[in-house]
Amino acid sequence: MEKEASYKDKKVITIGIVRELTGLSERQIRYYEERKLIFPERSLGGSRKYSFSDIELLMEIANKIEDGVQTFEIRQEIVRKQKKQDEKAIQKRMLQGQLNAQFGVRKR
């Protein structure tokens, strides 16, 4: 059974709203996407759709850029964070599998 995405992770916000909420220009937002710092989904019509989590990340990115951090460094940090999250998720699944095996729990 797959967990439903949190409201913070649902990609439903248009770039215009993101622009208003963040104070960033559409050009800046697209640039961060080109630099692979942010990953919006696309609607059937091709419009970018963002989540609240994306908006928080855009604000972090903008603050780091303002502090002089290069986009390459930000990308490396994002990759490191994602790798850690992936490793934690794998460990959690492995531990759950071991517990299930130990106590005879079977997935349905």
Query: pLDDT digit string (tens) for 18-38?
Result: 999 999 999 999 999 999 999
At 103, is the pLDDT very low, low, confident or very high (cuts 50, 70, 90)?
confident
Burial class (CB in 10 A: 0-12, 13-18, 19+), 54: buried
Residues 6+ apart with CB under 8 A from 48: 14, 15, 33, 40, 41, 42
Structure tokens at 101: 């095996």
Average pLDDT, the chain: 91
Check whether domain 7-103 has CATH 1.10.1660.10, yes or no = yes
Whether the pLDDT of residue 4 is over 90: the answer is no
Reference 54, options 89, 5, 90; nearest CA is 5
Is there a contact between 57 and 38 (Cβ–Cβ < 8 Å)?
A: yes
pTM here is 0.75
